């Protein structure tokens, strides 16, 4: 946004941003022989090391961080670092998902918020509607470059694993949203859109009122979304079991 000319209308910027879509594409690296366990430990170690970047830690927090760092380092040197065999296609798929899954759910919403913030700062009267912004692609488990191990069944299992990562990510965030949105309609006005959404969920709203003494339509809608996602995930799990493997909605490119 800092490079946008001062005289460019908000409508032109909006037209560009709505079509903006970054598409990182992940490929397989057969030389990556580190186990997922090692990658997970390294990720946890990175998180612990970054503790204190945003604010000074208390003495207890510093001691806890040092203890967790020591624990992670101990686990690293006591864990087999590499696989004793060549990774399979599904090993490669899971390695990508282990890294991409948490990252995309952390990066995409933050990117949406930041783009919206800077647009509003530049055009106070403008209204920004973003498209996908980020769409992750992957060749792993779906490429047809002559690898005889990438069979139709492997590709089906890959798609199932992708689906599971996406559904799990959405479900966790919806569950957290249901916990965070404790606003009661007796304390704040609700929008017409929310009222229409809750009108079809009267029983859930009524149960919430009986349990808490106050209706919380935001939480009722979020909880309902969580129930639907759980049902979809359960169905995907059944399909996954039939396919013989585990599941996101990361598009397979050929």
In a domain, 135, yes or no: yes
Q: What is the DSSP letter of 116?
A: H
Are residues 88 and 78 both part of a single domain? no
Are residues 101 and 220 both part of a single domain? yes
In a domain, 212, yes or no: yes
In a domain, 87, yes or no: yes
Are residues 135 and 69 both part of a single domain? no
pTM over 0.95: no
Say what the pLDDT of residue 157 is: 92
Are residues 78 and 116 both part of a single domain? no
Torsion of CA 59, 61, 64, 68, to 10 degrees: -130
C-alpha to C-alpha distance for 29 and 52, rounded to whole angstroms = 34
Residues 17-58: tens digit of each pLDDT: 888 888 988 887 655 566 778 878 888 888 888 887 778 888
Cβ neighbours around 86 below 10 Å, total: 8
Given a contact cutoff of 8 angstroms between Cβ atoms, the answer to whether 104 and 134 are in contact is: yes
Say what the pLDDT of residue 212 is: 54
Instruction: Give, rounded to a whole angstrom, the gap between the first and last alpha carbons of the chain.
Output: 34
Q: What is the DSSP letter of 22?
A: E
Say what the pLDDT of residue 153 is: 93
Are residues 128 and 236 both part of a single domain? yes
Residue ranges of the chain with pLDDT lower than 50?
Answer: 239-254
223: its two tokens: 């909880």
Q: Which domain holds residue 94?
A: 10-33+83-252
Say what the pLDDT of residue 251 is: 39
Say what the pLDDT of residue 165 is: 87
What is the domain count for the chain? 2
């Amino acid at each position: 946004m800092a490079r946008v000319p001062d005289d460019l209308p908000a409508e032109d910027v909006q037209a560009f941003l709505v079509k903006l879509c970054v598409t990182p594409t992940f490929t397989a690296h057969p030389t990556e022989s580190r186990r997922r366990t090692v990658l997970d430990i390294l990720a946890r170690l990175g998180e612990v090391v970054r503790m204190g970047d945003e604010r000074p830690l208390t003495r207890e927090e510093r001691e806890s961080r040092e203890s967790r760092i020591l624990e992670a380092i101990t686990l690293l040197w006591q864990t087999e670092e590499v696989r004793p065999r060549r990774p399979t296609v599904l090993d490669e798929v899971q390695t990508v998902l282990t890294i991409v899954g948490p990252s995309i759910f952390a990066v995409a919403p933050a990117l949406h918020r930041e783009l919206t913030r800077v647009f509003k700062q530049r055009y106070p009267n403008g209204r920004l509607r973003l498209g996908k912004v980020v769409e992750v692609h992957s060749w792993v488990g779906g490429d047809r470059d002559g690898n005889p191990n990438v069979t139709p069944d492997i590709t089906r299992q890959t798609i199932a694993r992708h689906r599971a990562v996406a559904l799990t990510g959405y479900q966790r965030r919806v569950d957290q949203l249901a916990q965070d949105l404790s606003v009661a309609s007796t304390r704040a006005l609700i929008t017409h859109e929310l009222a229409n959404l809750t009108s079809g969920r009267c029983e859930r709203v009524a149960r919430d009122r009986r349990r808490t003494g106050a209706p919380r339509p935001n939480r009722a809608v979020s909880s309902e979304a969580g129930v639907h996602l759980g049902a979809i995930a359960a169905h995907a799990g059944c399909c996954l079991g039939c396919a013989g493997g585990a599941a996101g909605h990361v598009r397979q490119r050929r």
